[in-house]
Every structure is written in structure tokens, then in C-alpha cells.
Structure 1
Amino acid sequence: MKLPRMVQVKQRFAGPAVEHIAREVWEQLARAGIDEAVTPGMRIALTAGSRGIANIAEIIKATAAKLKSLGAEPFIIPAMGSHGGATAEGQVKVLASLGVTEAYCEAPILSSMEVVQIGRTERDIPVYIDRHASEGDGIILIGRIKVHTDFKSPIGIESGIMKMAAIGLGKHEQALALHNYGIQGIRDFMPEVSRVVFEKANILCGIGIVENAYEQTAVIEAIPTPRIEERERELLKLSASLMPKLPVQQLDVLHVDRIGKNYSGTGMDTNIIGRMRILGVDEPASPNIKYVIAGDLSDECQGNALGIGLADLTTKRLFEKIDYHKTNENVITSTFLHRAMIPIILDNDLEAMRTALRCCWGVNPEQARIIRIANTLHLEHMYVSESLIPEIEALDHVKVVGDLEEMKFDGNGVFI
């Protein structure tokens, strides 16, 4: 089989970027009234999630430093559902992989899967929060606001501070309580849980983070608790406008070099690849990709291969890295089982590409529409096949930056 030639292209994205992270955190917290809310000796919990958020360690460190300047005693809690194998030790390791450590942040990490119930929603769903957080004197919710990879919300609340208040702060117990209702649980019931948290727990404020398409911090905003829901809706719109995407929406093959939860909570961002694979949820109209290849699993996700089921083909090297306990714990908690189903396994990238092209009915392999990306988070640089060049050259924000070359593989059939 003659494979198509490929060329490197570069996408240009617009969007702001915060230059001085720590300074912005301090200014935002002061603006949100934290100086008046905090008194010396207060023990304050800071939430740290499992996502690979730009500058998250520095943001948490700066928040802790600001609180210590007011005489408070900040501590960090892993705020994540079933990640890290749903164990206290595993969740500390997840934070460490993101740079969030006691040594760097200069604050203790108190990790436990224990929760306490603080109330119930009007639908009679129990509401939990982390035990260590409940024993403190206040909580600051820190989270990235972005389009969710599982659903589109009719009220404009998706992935953000309110999700952190519910599924993050409520740990595995809250994740189970909400995921038992499927999409309805995390789309419709999750905001109701977070409202109970705002009412019953001493949430001092939220720190909302928005990123631009280069995975840079575009916005850091400390939001007083009564305004979190309203402001999160507005920041979600901003986040959606800054999101990257593939330059072409109709493809025969998309090769993703690496998948992993450090790139997206679903391993591959469903908004980028145009696949949900959730029972009862419609698939997006675009992008329309015939076959997705997952080449490898990131080291940072420590074997959690959630999202592998979004691919059609994968490689032995990815398959052999899967930690079934971590993957199963995460996917069973979510109840979206299709996302962890194992696709057809090929020896390497070369065989996966040949197989995908062979199954593109009526398409001359040399004319196939192919894009190769590093992962679904970093879309500035990518390779596109020769047949896509006319469309690429017609786009103002995309530039061809290399020469047409044959696909390059090493001696083991792995993409170079």
C-alpha cells in the first residue's frame, strides 16, 4: 500500500494570556474580599483536581501564600471522584504528576476518601464533602472552566467551579451518587448538588481558570460565592470561544499520538474528535472522522486508559500500558462503559494506519484525508496529508511550515 505524503502545518489562535500568575491570584483574591473573610488561625482547604491545568501548581501555591500572609493555615485536598484508583495514595500521586506537591506549594496535602454528608437536594440526592475540608474553617474552590466532554448544558454549567464543588469536593461517593443517573446526573443534578454545598459549607470563594487554545492561562478570576453560578456561565462562553479545533472537519483518518487524562478527562477531547459514545447521547455533527487511531498512552495518566473506546484502532504498546484497575474504577464510576472498550489492536502505528486506510471504502490511500496530532489538547502543530493542502492554504489561521514528505516510522513501525 502506498501511503500519502504528509506536511507539517501550524495553526494560529487568538486569545489573552496572564503574564504574572502569582500577582494575578493575589489581586483577584483581594478583589473578591478574601482579606476581610479570613482571620488569623483559620484552616482553609484548597481544592486540587486531576486535570492537567496550565500553571495549576503555581496558582495553588500563590493562593496558599496569600492565605498565609493573612495568618491562615491553608491545606490542599485532592478533589476528584474516582481518579487515582479511588484511593487516597493514588490521588496524591495524581497531584504529584501535575506538580502539586507539599514541597512546591508549601502547604500540606490531606488526602482521604472519607466524606461527610452535609445535606440533600430537592430530588433527595445526598450531598457530600471531603472530611478534611468539612473539619476546616473555610474552602476555596479552584477549577478550570471549560466545555464538558460528556454533554452540552441547557443552563450553561458544564466543567468548572460548580463541578468542583460537587464531584470534586464530594469525592468518589458524590461521583457515584450522580453518575448513577447517567448523563442526567452530571448535567442536571450536579448544579443542584453544588448549590447545597454553597449553602451548607463555608465556601469562601471560587477561583475560575480559563485557558486559551495554546493551553496558556487566559483568565484567573476569584469569584465571591453568591456570584459563582452566574459568572461561571459567562466564563464558559469565553472558554468555548477560545477552544482550538481541527482545521478540517471531514477526515478519513485521525492519528492521535498519545491519549491520556492529562490531555482531557476523557483521554481524548470529545469536542475535538466529534465522538461522545454515551448511551442515549447524540453524536456531534462535526467533525466527521471515519477512523481514529490512538497510538500511545501518556505516562502522566499512570495507566488510566479511559477514552480508549473513543478510538477505532490502537497499538500493542498502548494496550500493554493499561492499568485495568485504574481504568475500570474510573469508567465504571462514570457508567459510560463504551469509552473503555478496547478497539482493534495492531502491532504498531504503521499497521494501524494501513488497516484504517484499507477500510476506507472507495478511497485511494494516496488521496486519503489524514491528520496526525500529538494529542487533543495541543493543536498548534500537526501533520496533514497531501490531499488537504488546498483546503489548508485557503484558511487564514493555518500555515504550511514544512515540506511534503513520506510518512516516517522507526524500525518498530512507530511514527517519528
Structure 2
Amino acid sequence: MAILLEDNTKYNLPRMYKIRQIFPNDELVNIPEIIRQKMMVTDVSKKILPGMRVAVCVGSRGIKNILTIVSTVVNVLLEKGAKPFILSAMGSHGNGTEEGQREILSSYGITEDNLHIPIVTKVNVRKIGVLSSNVPLFFDQEAIKADLIIPINRIKIHTDFVGDIQSGLCKMLVIGLGNQKGCSTIHEVVPSKFSQIIEEGAKTIIEKTNVGFGVAILENGYDKTACIDVIPAEHIVAQEKILLKTAKKYMPFIRLTAVDVLIMKEIGKNISGAGYDPNIVGRSSVLKEFMLPFPKIKKMILLDITDSSHGNGIGLGLFDIITKKVFHKLDFEAMYTNAVACKCIEDVKIPLMVDTEEEAIRIAVRTIRNVQKKNLKIVRIKNTLQLEYIEVSEALLPEVKKNEYMEVQT
């Protein structure tokens, strides 16, 4: 089927240039040593007693060095005579099932063979309280039975809401360990109240369960580990608010003002809970305000979904054009389970589909009004997490060369 007229295929697409973007580059070099030092601080170490069953909680995010971080925490616990086990803490991800969540953990190397401790992915929950607006609070039964609970998560601005508390330890406690039922219940709250309800829920969980301390991770704009903090339970809420401000300063972004066509090579649950970070491109079904500068983008193209997403293509619905490769990788049950739980079904609508990237670009250009084909402003990025190197068309080079934080590589 010929989607385009012949005239729309005769012009040459612009040459693309590789660009390096410069961001703050703090990086930890000896992660195990830093974690050990922080776990030996009295306020933390006194909480670990011999014989304790300790739930080490791990989520679905693609966190840099996650296996090293988790294994170090586990080794310290074992050395102190505790009995740690890994507990999945990922809400509705992995279809909200034991098998799906175990598969996600395995994709990050979080396995019994690697860690030599049990991996528990049961998804049963118990109601432990009622929050504001009569919202019930559910919590993982295996966590409730544990003598000590240790959430491990990255602190980051969120894709669907703003506030003093966003992605991090508090959200893992309230939504990650709420499993599918708890996740769906919390998402009844309007986005404007989400940060508030997560803070309230985290305080309730810390008060009513055996949360001992949390391991908070910050990443820089180059997708590298910039900071790790081990926070006693009683300080998690207050310290997370401080760390969120630092995390925002580390965030990468696209240092351009206007783009005709943005090509994104991949989205995925290991990149962002929404598949991609809306704060980077300024396109969301939920957010009304964004935390980062972003270019004005006319059309967005998606080429692929990460293998680590296991077919969950949430986020594709906000693109204008996708490849058929994207469509054929979709696991609709996994994707729809996530979208319904999060009440964001707009994010899983199927856009126009084409065979190739070139066809997608030409259709995108054809559907932009008053575009100048000789001066097309096209940007290609890998994903919204890795933005050090991007590609731009020739029409964007003058803007690039004026920016001291951008370098032309080719």
C-alpha cells in the first residue's frame, strides 16, 4: 500500500550529525566500599541482628549497577548473621504476577544463582491502614512477615506527577510493595495529590511495619551512579525530599528549543515507568507541568521497545508514528495490565505504523504544516535516559554551536 505520493519520496533527507551533550559528571568509583561504610554507621548497623529474616526489596527499574548494589547489601547482611531474601517490589509490573516479576528480576541478574539467597515474588497483600480521602493502604504479606525491610531504589523525578516526594524509596514502599492491588488503589488518587498520598502512605508503613533503612541511589546525566545513601527508616521521608532536589540537577535533557521530528530508538520499563520520561520531551497524558526544559516537538517517532520490557510497550500511545517492529513485540496483557492499574490507557493506544524509519520520517514531515524540507530540524535519541550522545540534522547545527554544553562530534 502506497501511503505517500511519489513527490513525498523524491527529496533527500538531511545528513545527521553526532552531538555530545555535557552534564554534571559526579560518579562513584567504589560502590561496594561506600555501601559497606554507610551500613556500618551505628544508626543503621544496630537495626541488623543475627537470625533476622530481612526482605531486600528490588523493583523493576533499570538501575545502573543494581546487581552490585543489591549483592553488597546482601553480603553485609549475611556477614552480620541475618537471613536476607530478595522481595520483588514493583506494583503491577510483570503482569502483576509471581512469574512475571521473577522474570524482570532475572533480567537484571537478580537470581538465586547469583545471590545465593531466596528470591520471593509473591503478590499477596494485606490492608494495613486507610489514608486521606478514605484510600485503603495495602502492603506485601511477605514484607509484613519479615523482621526487617530494606527498600532499594533510585531517587528521581516522576513521569506522572510532581511534588516533594516522587520516584524513590517512599513510592516503592507504597506502590511497589502494594503489588497490583495496592498500585491500582493508590492510582485512584488524582495526580495533583499523588505526592501527598505517597508521603502519608510511606509514613504509615514505616510506623506499622519493620522498615529498617533504605538504600537510595542517584544517577547522573550519563546514566552512571552518582550517589548512594543508606537512610534509617525514621529519616527516609525527610531525606528523600532533599535527595530529589539533587536528582533533578543531575537529570539529562535535550538542549534544543524546537524540533520538527524527534526519533526515539527505544522505550521501555527499564528506562522509565512510563516507557520514556515525559519531562524530556514535554509530552504526557497526565503531567500538566514538566520539571525540565524541553524542545517544542512537532512529531515523534518510535522505532523499538527494549527487550527488558518483556513486551510492555506502555508509552507508545503518545507517539505519532511507530514501526511494525514495535507492534510485533507487544505483550498486550502485560501492557494493558500496567495501563489499567495506572489509569493511563491513552499511553497504550496504537499509533500509525510503518515498515521503516525512513518511511516514518517522510510521513512525519508530510503531516507537518508549513515545514521547509531543505531545513528540516530532526533529532534522533536512543532513549530518554541516555542523552549524552544524540544526532541532529544540519539545520540544528547553528544552535548547537552556540551552546557551550554541546559539541559536534562528526
Q: 1:396 aligns with which of 366, 386, 404?
A: 404
Report the secondary structure of 1:133's partner residue: helix
Q: Percent identity?
A: 37
Alignment of 1:344-363 (within 5 A): 344-363=352-371
| In the alignment, structure 1 residue 80 sits paired with structure 2 residue 86 | no
C-alpha distance in 2 between matches for 1:107 and 1:356: 51
The one-character-per-residue Cα deviations of 1:151-173 (angstroms, maximum 9, x if unpaired) are 111xx101111101100111111
Q: 1:311 aligns with which of 298, 319, 322?
A: 319
Report the secondary structure of 1:169's partner residue: helix
Q: 1:140 aligns with which of 150, 161, 185?
A: 150
C-alpha distance in 2 between matches for 1:142 and 1:368: 44
Q: Which residue of 2 aligns with 1:410?
A: none
- Whether contact under 8 Å (2:129, 2:138) holds in the other structure is yes
TM-score (norm 2): 0.94
C-alpha distance in 1 between matches for 2:357 and 2:24: 33
Q: Which residue of 2 aligns with 1:406?
A: none
Q: Which residue of 2 aligns with 1:11?
A: 21
**What is the Cα deviation at residue 191 of structure 1?**
1.6
The one-character-per-residue Cα deviations of 1:256-288 (angstroms, maximum 9, x if unpaired) are 01111111111111111111112xx42648431
Q: Which residue of 2 aligns with 1:339?
A: 347
Alignment of 1:3-152 (within 5 A): 3-31=13-41, 33-152=43-162
Q: Which residue of 2 aligns with 1:167?
A: 175
The one-character-per-residue Cα deviations of 1:291-325 (angstroms, maximum 9, x if unpaired) are 11001111110100000012111011111111100
Count of residue pairs the alignment pairs up: 398
**What is the Cα deviation at residue 33 of structure 1?**
2.5
C-alpha distance in 1 between matches for 2:296 and 2:115: 43
Q: Which residue of 2 aligns with 1:198?
A: 206
Structure 2, gaps ≥5 residues long? 1-10
Q: Which amino acid aligns with 2:393?
A: S
C-alpha distance in 2 between matches for 1:14 and 1:100: 30
| In the alignment, structure 1 residue 369 sits paired with structure 2 residue 377 | yes
Comparing 86-95 and 107-116, the one that deviates more: 107-116
| In the alignment, structure 1 residue 322 sits paired with structure 2 residue 322 | no
Report the secondary structure of 1:258's partner residue: coil
Q: Which amino acid aligns with 2:211?
A: I
Distance 1:359 1:67, change over 3 A: same
TM-score (norm 1): 0.93
Q: Which amino acid aligns with 2:372?
A: N
- Whether contact under 8 Å (1:276, 1:283) holds in the other structure is no
Alignment of 1:172-321 (within 5 A): 172-184=180-192, 186-278=194-286, 281-282=287-288, 284=290, 286-321=294-329
Q: Which amino acid aligns with 2:344?
A: F
**What is the Cα deviation at residue 47 of structure 1?**
0.6
Structure 1, gaps ≥5 residues long? 403-416
